[in-house]
Amino acid sequence: MTDQPGGVSGGEEWEQLAVKTIRALAMDGPRKASSGHPGTAMALAPAAHVLFSRIMKFDPTDPHWPDRDRFVLSCGHASILLYSMLHLTGYKVSLDDLKSFRQLGSITPGHPENEMTQGVEVTTGPLGQGVANAVGMAVAERFLRAQYGVELSDHHIWAFAGDGCLEEGISHEAASLAGHLGLGRLVMLYDDNHITIDGPTELALNDKPAERFRAYNWHVIELGEQSNDLTALEQAFRDGAAEENRPTLIVLRSHIGWPSPEFTDSPKAHGDPFPPEEIARTKKLMGLPEDESFYVPDEVIAGYQHALEQNRSKRASWTDRVTGAGDKGKALLAQMNGDVSAGLAQPVPDFEVGAQVATRHSFQKSLNATAKGLPAILSGSADLTGNTGTKLDDGMTQSLEDPGGNQLHYGIREHAMGGAMTGMARHGGVLPLGGTFFVFSDYMRGAVRVAAISEAKVFYIWSHDSIGVGEDGPTHQPIEHLASLRAMPGLTVLRPADAYECDAAWRAALECEGPVAMILARQNTPVLAQTKALAPGRVRNGAYVLDEKGDGDPQVILVGTGSEVWLCLDAADALAAEGIASRVVSMPCFEWFEALDIAAQAEVLPADIPVLSVEAGSTFGWSRYADESIGIDRFGASGPGAKVFEYFGFTAPRIAEAAKSLIHAPKGPRRARR
């Protein structure tokens, strides 16, 4: 700390006033909201000022400039710090927006949300997620730099993280991966303030983060007690930016709530607004008007605008270079804008009707077909590349030695993989795919949820989707996972029936705006003539009539997903042999079906025909569409996959018998569809 009351050292007069202004806003926002976290924002005000005024490359007049630096506030509870910096530097965050901090409908929510606030790069809040996001952004930056050169892509990723971020397991996974990859454009400041909600961090933590990160192959700068020294902070940031072959961690010993006379180094500064009298005392100590809230001097705004003039010049020069690069520049812009048209134009792979092909294998063919037109694809897996269908035919391993590599080996780090992919997607220019066994989506769930909130265009390739895993038993057999992920808003869940439906689903997924889960089978399933003919035009409806068997109007509808669809077709043949007409519906996506209007849904599932659903997972959620369900509402069993399927009743004869029972069952209240 500096001995100067409420001040900083190493800055011009306007800069010292700027830091005091940020600290005052950090108190005023939470106080007006009666909610929020002022202390961390106050402590990090000097670091944020230096980064936004002296270091980072950005231009608020063009907030989506592709070659801007990215900033990630992993300790998202300090959101008032970021909102203050966005306001002061000229983003569309007004003083009234700061006054509406944490209020319903405002663009300054309790934790940063990228879809809500201009200048917020990623949605953060769950601690540690931002660390993984920043790692993914650094991968994306290097990937694009390798493709287009430093003339068109040349920027850094900056992140602020706190004690909580580094305690969470995802940060360990992500930091280990970043060190292995040698992500030199990543600089993260660790706010070592020794305070958590419960009290001093020493209650539960005595790690030596500097030693740990050095072991992860990071460049570590131990800045110590210099949180108010603008010159020292600037030098640390520049030293980190100069490190090309390792990510950098700056360890800064800050004092939460400083310079509050009462709440400096207090847990009360973490999650509670300061009392009005303490705010007044602190402002008086800093030489600010103690009775004026949200005080922003004109000279502070003018100072930031002057500091940003060089960045505006850099953006203009970059624009000229992109224009001068001709087709190469156009290709970069198309890639940054998410153009997938060239991939969709690639021919569909040829699959032999009747052949036995697992969708995890057919997906790999579809992926490689479209990848020929998609230089943005960066495919990876958590140690299961060949098993999950995420292997690229021309795949080169992403690494320090091959920064343009399009095959990323995440190792056994599912949670970091999920968070890093969100960062890649939010960075832009990358279409990230990440594969693992479906049951291990549990390890990724926190990252998946943030991706859904963020509307991040991420592709989760989750294979081994059912009891078909067989001998590995209940620990590896997903049961409740489909139902739980379908319940997540903003996530598109696809479980294709066979190779052709898988291809159609993947191509439709490429045009989705948010995250998509491709749920793929380990076991072989027959390639169906019906999907070859119908899936390309109908899969986007979420559910469609695959076939009708028997004479006359259908007496029952069999609706299935994934590897159970062909069983429904076989059961329909058995019913037809007994003179019972039926309809078979493939339903690869609940979300897309729900997007149809009621009339379109009724064409597929008329309310006057009983429906039997068949899916090798929990029956939870199927009551919306089906009168009865064949599913699994217990954990699985260990044994050969085919035997386990038979044991749980996933056979055509059992489906046919259940359908007949449903036809003859007493008519009760109809299901609540839609």
Predicted confidence at residue 673, as pLDDT, reads 44
How far is 350 from 318, CA to CA, in rounded Å? 44
Answer yes or no: is pLDDT of 259 > 70.
yes
Residues 6+ apart with CB under 8 A from 298: none
Predicted confidence at residue 5, as pLDDT, reads 54
Active site residue 455: no
How far is 335 from 193, CA to CA, in rounded Å? 41
- How sure is the predictor about 674, in pLDDT bands with cuts at 50, 70 and 90? very low
Mean pLDDT on 416-429 = 98
Predicted confidence at residue 529, as pLDDT, reads 98
Predicted confidence at residue 672, as pLDDT, reads 44
Mean pLDDT on 152-179 = 98
Answer yes or no: is pLDDT of 53 > 80.
yes
Domains and CATH numbers, the chain: 13-312 (3.40.50.970), 341-529 (3.40.50.970), 541-664 (3.40.50.920)
Residues 6+ apart with CB under 8 A from 217: 179, 180, 182, 246
Predicted confidence at residue 418, as pLDDT, reads 98
Mean pLDDT on 535-548 = 98
Q: Are 134 and 71 in contact (CB under 8 A)?
A: no
Answer yes or no: is pLDDT of 2 > 80.
no
Answer yes or no: is pLDDT of 646 > 90.
yes
Angle at 48 between CA 45 and CA 52, to 5 degrees: 140
- How sure is the predictor about 668, in pLDDT bands with cuts at 50, 70 and 90? low
Answer yes or no: is pLDDT of 61 > 60.
yes
Answer yes or no: is pLDDT of 253 > 90.
yes
pLDDT tens digit string along 3-49?
455 578 999 999 999 999 999 999 999 999 999 999 999 999 999 99
Residues 6+ apart with CB under 8 A from 518: 363, 459, 460, 461, 462, 494, 496, 502, 505, 506, 509
Mean pLDDT on 45-61 = 98
Answer yes or no: is pLDDT of 671 > 70.
no
Helix (H, G, I), strand (E, B) or coil at 601: helix
How far is 355 from 606, CA to CA, in rounded Å? 33
619-649 burial string, b = 16+ CB within 10 Å, else e? bbbbeebbbbbbbbeeebbeeebeebbeebb
How far is 101 from 81, CA to CA, in rounded Å? 11
Of all residues in the chain, what percent carry a pLDDT higher than 90? 97
pLDDT tens digit string along 173-197?
999 999 999 999 999 999 999 999 9
Catalytic residue among 414, 564, 591, 628: 414
Predicted confidence at residue 351, as pLDDT, reads 98
Q: Are 160 and 112 in contact (CB under 8 A)?
A: no
Predicted confidence at residue 669, as pLDDT, reads 54
Name the average pLDDT for the chain. Answer: 96
DSSP notation for 497-524:
SSHHHHHHHHHHHHT-SS-EEEE--SS-
Least confident span in 403-412, 490-499, 622-631, 662-671: 662-671
Answer yes or no: is pLDDT of 127 > 60.
yes
Predicted confidence at residue 666, as pLDDT, reads 82
Mean pLDDT on 472-489 = 98
Cα dihedral sign for 335, 337, 342, 345?
positive
How far is 294 from 30, CA to CA, in rounded Å? 11
